[in-house]
Amino acid sequence: MSRLKHLENLQRLTLSIHSTAGGITTLLSGLARSTGSKLNTVNLYFFDMDTKGMLEISSGLRLLADSSIFDLTLSKCSIDGDAATALSAGLPSVANLNHLYLSNSIISHNGVITLLHGIHFLTRLTWLGISHSNIGSVEASALANQLQCFKQLRNLLLPRNNIGPDGAISLANQLHHLTELKLFDLSHNNIDLKSAVAIISASKDCPCLVRIALNINPRSHFSSGIHVEGLVSLDDTTAITELKAAARHSPKQRKLHFGF
């Protein structure tokens, strides 16, 4: 840690750690002691962490509570119940966090709910992404109930989970809280046409929203707020009519994509 003593004038720090090698808490502790008050942006990227590594990260977050952590990314990590509990307890320490991204991580169902208890303290988030991470309808409903906490959120990305129609409708019912939202991604989540209509209809309460990404059918593509393309292969003509009607009430500048 002696090499860190000259970092008192550091203003921006990006730290990327791949796989658990031990010493994460010691490293973050050293950074907390060695960096001065000028440090205003910290970006932390962790990849391929096991439970031990996640526990160390959680402890390290508490040590960096006085630093302005801007971006926290956890990718391909194993987050079991113990790790989720520790991380949930550590997240409130970094209340200034702007970006949080969980990707391709093995998270137990109970772990997702536990994590959400910690995430709801991050009221300054502008970017929240949880992809490939075992989010089902129950977890999506729990997240929906917390959307009122994220008044500054501009990007909500939840692709490639298993949210389903019920989870999508739960999110749609709470979208009105996100008045700053610009991008909403629910692609590849087994969402049907009915829940897509609910999402589009709810988007009228999000004045800044310019793009919605959904997935109904691999052959379907919804390309704009006025024209519907590629939906002729779908059999539910009533739902298609509803979808078109909802789109006509969507501002023309919005791009709505169904099927990437």
Domain that holds residue 191: 138-260
- Same-domain check for residues 100 and 150: no
Q: Which of 200, 153, 156, 210 is nearest to 179 (CA)?
A: 153
| 205 and 103 part of one domain | no
In a domain, 106, yes or no: yes
Clarify whether residues 145 and 193 are in a common domain: yes
Q: Residue 131 domain-assigned?
A: no
144 and 104 housed in the same domain: no
**Short-list 31, 39, 44, CA closest to 9:** 39
48 and 150 both lie in a single domain = no
pLDDT of residue 220: 42
The pLDDT, as a whole number, for residue 150 is: 95
Of 43-52, 105-114, 240-249, where does mean pLDDT reach its minimum?
240-249
Does residue 217 carry a pLDDT above 70?
no
Let me know whether 103 and 147 are in one domain: no
- Token pair 């099927």 is found at 259
In a domain, 148, yes or no: yes
User: With 0-12 CB in 10 A as exposed, 13-18 as middle and 19+ as buried, what is 51?
Assistant: middle
User: 95 in a domain, yes or no?
Assistant: yes
Contact 155, 127 (CB under 8 A): yes
130 within domain boundaries: no
What's the chain's average pLDDT? Answer: 77
The answer to whether residue 72 sits within a structural domain is yes
What is the predicted pLDDT for the residue at 228? Answer: 31
- 97 and 186 assigned to the same domain: no
Q: Which of 62, 77, 112 is the last residue of a domain?
A: 112
Same domain, 156 and 66: no
Compare 156 and 4 and report the one with higher pLDDT. Answer: 156
Measure the CA angle with vertex 131, ends 16 and 18; round to 5°: 20
* Residues 259 and 143 grouped into a single domain: yes
8-state DSSP, 42? E
Q: Judge if 95 and 144 occupy the same domain.
A: no
Is 123 contained in some domain?
no
pLDDT at 224 over 60: no
Question: Residue 15 — pLDDT band, cuts 50, 70, 90?
Answer: confident
Confidence of residue 251 (pLDDT cuts 50, 70, 90): low
149 in the same domain as 106: no
More confident residue, 4 or 163: 163
**How many domains are there within the chain?**
2
Residues 33-83 have pLDDT tens digits of 665 555 567 788 888 888 888 888 888 888 777 666 788 999 988 888 888
Residue where one domain finishes, among candidates 68, 97, 112: 112
Residue 245 lies in a domain: yes
Considering the domain architecture, whether residues 88 and 197 belong to the same structural domain is answered as no
Q: Which residues contact 2 (CB under 8 A, 6 or more apart)?
A: none
Q: Which range is most confident: 9-18, 151-160, 226-235, 238-247?
A: 151-160
Residues 203-213 have a mean pLDDT of 84
Question: CB of 125 within 8 A of CB of 152?
Answer: yes
pLDDT in the model for residue 63: 78
- Decide which of 67, 97, 112 is a domain's last residue: 112
CATH of the domain at 192: 3.80.10.10
pLDDT at 236: 46
140-188 pLDDT tens trace: 999 999 999 999 999 999 998 989 999 999 999 999 999 999 999 888 8
Q: What pLDDT is attached to residue 127? A: 96
Q: How far apart are CA 107 and CA 145, in angstroms?
A: 20
Other beta carbons within 10 Å of 89: 16
The model carries a pTM of 0.81
